[in-house]
Amino acid sequence: MCFEEINDSLELVFRYSWTSSDTYGFIRECELINLSKNQVDIDILDGLQNILPAGTPQAIQASASNLVDAYKWSEIDKASGIALFTIYSGITDKPEPFASMRANTVFCLGFEPSKTLLSSQQINDFYLRKPLHNQTHTRGARGAYLVNSTFKLAAKTDKTWQFVCDVEKSKYDILSLHKTLSESQNMRELINQSIRDDSNELRRIISTMDGFQLTNEELVSTHHYANVLFNGMRGGIFDKQYWIPTKDFTASVRHFNRPVYQAHEAFLNGLVKQLKFPELLKLIKQQNDANLTRLCYEFLPITFGRRHGDPSRPWNDFCIKLKDDNGKRLLNYQGNWRDIFQNWEALLFSYPEFIESVIAKFVNASTIDGYNPYRISQTGIDWETEDPKDPWSHIGYWGDHQIIYLLKLLELSNNFHPNKIRQLLHEPIFCYANVPYRIKSHKDLLNNPKDTIEYDYQVAQKIEQGVQKLGADAKLLLNEAGEVYLVNLSEKLLVPLLAKLSNFVLGGGIWLNTQRPEWNDANNALAGQGLSMVTLYYLRRYVCFLKTLFKDQNSISLSKEVALWLDNVITQFQPNRSTQFQTMSAQERFDHLEKLACCAYEYRKEVYQQGFSGVTDYNIKTINTFLSNTLSAINHSIDANKRTDGLYHAYNLMDSNQDSIQINHLQLMLEGQVAILSSGGVGPEQAIDMLNTLFDSNLYRSDQQSFMLYPDNELPNFLTKNRISPEQITNVPKLEQLLEQSGHALLICDVDGYWHFNADLINHEALVARLNALETDYGSAVTKLKQPINALYEMAFNHKKFTGRSGGMFGFEGLGSIYWHMVAKLLLAVQEIYFNALDTNCNQATCHHLGQLYYRVRQGIGFNKTPTQYGAFPTDPYSHTPKHTGAQQPGMTGQVKEEVLTRFGELGIRICHAKVHFQPNLLRIGEFTNTPKVFNYLDILGNERCLTMPSNAIAFTWIGLPILYVLSNTNTEASLNIHWRNQKDEVLTDLILSEEISCKIFMRSDEIAQITLKLNANLLFDE
């Protein structure tokens, strides 16, 4: 909504509504109010300009809009009065017909226009008070829809009208709309009803993700609503909770694997129309086909997600596809692999029965060499290919998120279903993605760590052919019989660990050598020379988790080649080696990496060529010892990366010679602190020190009370960059002579006698190419100077330390920017440490101090700010806040996922060993209402409900279940009331639900009508 004051007596109010129904797109309502005591004569021209026609090709519009204009055809349909914006013919340069059969449409309700204009031509005439001419048809001109009307507006009255706009309507749609328009008695009411219907549908969607809460702090619950909404729009929602339309599942089996489909055709087509996922899985398992079971686990009935990923990448146009071409409801999701799982994590907190499905989707997409593809969608995986014409195109593995996002899912499963995940460790129902990238040998990697992956066109072609025949499963590793090669979850968890460990530079971190950066994009150029401590911090937590997971197992089954790789890695982490780690020389570090990397290459070479040769049993004790040894090696490296101020390095640079590796630290970064705080390696007291240091550091932006990714360093200005003193030149023998001969090709001397490299020499590669070219003209004079000139260049540009966006960009993840997802990750990390302190019975002062720091971090987040301070709608989450302007990119932030989780943490919902714990120690008393209220929500069946709340209460839903917290006076004992739908209420005095009751909640069984927690102030967080 937006207001505009025209003058003292007139005011305009605009309201925009969007609908997702069939008939209308968006509605712009305008209300003109006469505030004065006199009647006013109005002559108004209102509408929309530059309306694009249906079928406008985006790329051509961006690059050649004038060409698109020439195809434009706008008309007002005489019969209906609807304005149609079309291209008369499809835009193509091929000699083939291309009928254009859709129109964008606009019509107006609410006043009788005296004139209607289809272009902006006459706007100036209106300003000049010249007479206007009706325009019902234009060709080759930009479309507009402007109506001119004159009327008298009585004193203290108003007038409202609406523009109803929609896109890509077929003739059928338009004729149907015409019919509705002509038959309807009250079109405006019909539209308002449609808006209401869609609002209700949105309420239903939000309710399925537990978006409704009612507390005394409206901003908090509104912010939660927004987080839930955007989380759903990023990753999608489960369409009908746990229900799976069997027709969709069957189609999915057919899509992925035709032989499997054919083998079970009768069974699949005989299934009832819909089944809850656990029931479906049970039936499927009875078929005794591991591949069918795999496909069932992987099937996610998700809808509503926009195509998910960084919009600066060309593929990532938003697209929320809810219906198929026939208008039928559609299950659909697609997203960047590294983005979509985060939102599912938050969603799973309301749908725990799908946790293992998402884990399956995750690990089934990981490759034999331990990485992950670029994109996933309902139809399978996808990877980047190179387009030589597009400077933005590139291939490689984004090694980031992998460990921590997988781990978070595993931890969820371990909390909700500790038995289930342990069972999966042994079930061979998982697979490998076969991305046709081939990582080169360790020698090649060292030689050029930025050019490490070959695209195997032959494999790619084979896969493409296979997809035609077998189905999308042809993108997976197949065995010799052409079937999908299956392994258990243990192997799928070990391979990424081995891949990371094989790039472990002791004391430095995990070497980024797959041509793509770790998250975050700030350091997008670190690939090659970068070492990630961030990944190592997360790896620490992963190793600890695996120790817990494998503890009580016996042997596990592994592919032979994986077992061999594991053996080799184990050798490198023997305790006798590990003691050396502290005193390790650069040479020993080089050797250690070489040994690890060569084992990995041996493994890769083997499996790239031959695949796997069978399975073997592996002793779990060996693994557990290995995990312990690894943990101690990791801990040594972590210690070595502690800064003198108590904070930790996030990334390092690797400086490798023929036989040694030196480690150079980069600057302070927020990501490193988040990762170490999440690693499990930092105790409560240390965490408090670190957080206090952080608030005093140059990462803190006091204007936004929050943290940047790295300090906003002052940069040299344009004319002081790339400046070389005359002495630096004369110090190099014979250089002056060459520069005299070679003109401006290499260096140019300015009017002040300083030298500058030629502006074409954008990097070392360009310099080398130029030197080689000069060599043909000037021979050995150049050859001898190559090394010193390269050294001069590096001195001038310091390109070895080039980290990417963090060095030369000022929006997004750039200099001065706050990247809100990282702040939210910090928030979650502090909350984890807080609960960890509670769980370990830490002293109260420490816990309280941590709680205070939690709220201090939270204080920086938008919803606590004024619109002026935030520069945007405070309750909405945004991607980033650059130094020079307000928050940017609403909803496009992983912040939403972290904050959905922290919010339930604030409310004290914790799950442990399959039981629900109510532990609201972080909840503030101020959130309790001070008057009776009514909490409106939708129940699991989708019915609108209202819950009458007393004073001093909080209400919310979780897994669709309404939960009421009521604050009693401090003397009353806390109690949990289970309101059964068909039996008497049950009162529990410890705040933990039994495994049985917890399971009913997880399963959305609807047997429980409500849970009421009566508690006293002692349990809450005392600010």
Q: What is the footprint of its own copies within residues 369-398 (CB under 8 A)? A: 387, 389-394
Whole-number Å distance between alpha carbons of 195 and 966: 36
**Which position among 323, 329, 744, 981 is part of the footprint of its own copies (CB under 8 A)?**
744
Positions in 312-341 near its own copies (CB under 8 A): 312-314, 325-327
Q: Residue 526 Cβ, how far from its own copies at the closest point, in Å? A: 7
Q: Does 795 contact its own copies by CB under 8 A?
A: no
Q: Tell the smallest beta-carbon distance from residue 12 to its own copies (Å).
A: 19
Least separation in angstroms between residue 945's CB and its own copies is 37
Give 326 or 983: the residue with its C-beta nearer to its own copies: 326
Binding span for its own copies by CB under 8 A among 70-78, 227-235, 605-613, 821-829: 70-78
Is residue 751 close enough to count as binding its own copies by CB under 8 A? yes
Is the Cα dihedral 859, 861, 865, 870 positive or negative?
Answer: positive
Shortest spacing between CB 795 and its own copies, in angstroms: 13
Q: For residue 987, count other CB atoms closer than 10 A to its CB.
A: 11
Q: Which parts of 863-922 interact with its own copies (CB under 8 A)?
A: 882-885
Distance of closest approach, residue 265 Cβ to its own copies, in angstroms: 15
Q: Which stretch, 363-371, 814-822, 838-846, 968-976, contacts its own copies (CB under 8 A)?
A: 814-822
Pairing of strands 40-51, 26-34: unpaired
- The least CB distance from residue 325 to its own copies, in Å, is 7
Residue 93 or 703 with smaller CB distance to its own copies: 93
87 touches its own copies (CB under 8 A)? yes
CA 502 to chain centre: 27
Of the residues 439, 634, 708, 745, which one makes contact with its own copies according to CB under 8 A: 745
Judged by CB under 8 A, the residue of 5, 18, 21, 70 near its own copies is 70
Q: Is 83 in the site for its own copies (CB under 8 A)?
A: no
Q: Determine, following the binding rule CB under 8 A, whether residue 808 of this chain makes contact with its own copies.
A: yes
The DSSP code for 433 is B
Does 96 bind its own copies (CB under 8 A)? Our answer is yes
Give the binding-site size for its own copies (rule: CB under 8 A). Answer: 111
CB of 93 vs its own copies, minimal distance in Å? 5
* Spatial distance between the Cα atoms of 441 and 445, rounded to a whole number of angstroms: 6
**Token pair recorded at residue 621:** 């004790």
Residues 161-220 that bind its own copies (CB under 8 A): 170-172, 174-176, 178-179
CA gap 636, 549 in Å, rounded: 23
Q: Which stretch binds its own copies (CB under 8 A): 200-208, 358-366, 678-686, 763-771?
A: 763-771
The C-alpha atoms of residue 343 and residue 919 are separated, in whole angstroms, by: 24
CA distances from 494 to 433, 558, 993 (A): 15, 9, 34
Binding residues among 764-783 for its own copies as defined by CB under 8 A: 764-765
Nearer to its own copies, 309 or 681 (CB): 309
Residue selected from 197, 760, 944, 985 as contacting its own copies according to rule CB under 8 A: 760
Distance of alpha carbon 91 from alpha carbon 57, whole angstroms? 8
Among the listed residues 48, 55, 44, the one whose alpha carbon sits nearest the alpha carbon of residue 142: 48
Residue numbers 698-737 binding its own copies by CB under 8 A:
715, 717-719, 721-723
Distance CA 815, CA 109 (A): 49
Residue 549, both tokens = 């997971």
CB of 179 to its own copies, least distance (A): 4
Q: Choose which of 422, 799, 915, 979 interacts with its own copies (CB under 8 A).
A: 799
Burial class (CB in 10 A: 0-12, 13-18, 19+), 743: exposed
Per-residue binding letters, 512-531, with its own copies (x by CB under 8 A): ---xxx------xxxxx---
Q: Which is nearer to its own copies, 579 or 885 (CB)?
A: 885
- Whether the CA torsion 735, 736, 741, 742 is positive or negative: it is positive
Q: Does 124 bind its own copies (CB under 8 A)?
A: no
Residue selected from 17, 138, 215, 520 as contacting its own copies according to rule CB under 8 A: 138
- Looking at 743, 841, 970, 984, which residue binds its own copies (CB under 8 A)? 743
Q: What is the DSSP string of 62-87?
A: HH-HHHHHHTEEEEE-TTT--EEEEE
Element (H, E) at 51: strand 40-51
Nearer to its own copies, 46 or 75 (CB): 75
What's the CA dihedral at 590, 591, 595, 600 to 10 degrees? Answer: 10
Which phi and psi angles does 514 have, rounded to 5°? -115, 30
- Asked if residue 100 binds its own copies (CB under 8 A), the reply is yes
Distance, in Å, from the CA atom of 8 to the CA atom of 851, rounded to the nearest integer, reads 51
**Token pair belonging to 690:** 């670190």
Q: Is 270 in the site for its own copies (CB under 8 A)?
A: no
Q: What is the DSSP string of 623-666?
A: HHHHHHHHHHHHHHHHHHTB-TTS-B--EEEEEE-SS-EEEEE-
Kindly indicate which of the ranges 490-498, 580-588, 746-754, 977-985 contains the residues binding its own copies, using the contact rule CB under 8 A.
Answer: 746-754
Q: Candidates 85-93, 228-236, 636-644, 828-836 — which segment interacts with its own copies by CB under 8 A?
A: 85-93
Cα 472 to the center of its chain, rounded Å: 24
Q: From the CB of 41, what's the least distance to its own copies, in Å?
A: 28
Q: For its own copies, which is the closer residue by CB, 138 or 673? A: 138
The helix (H) or strand (E) run that includes residue 336 is strand 334-336
Distance of CA 252 to the CA centre of its chain: 25
Answer for which of 305, 471, 807, 871 binds its own copies (CB under 8 A) is 807
Q: Could you give phi then psi for residue 940, rounded to 5 degrees?
A: -60, -30
Cα→Cα distances 497→510, 555, 569, 631, 856, Å: 11, 18, 10, 12, 35
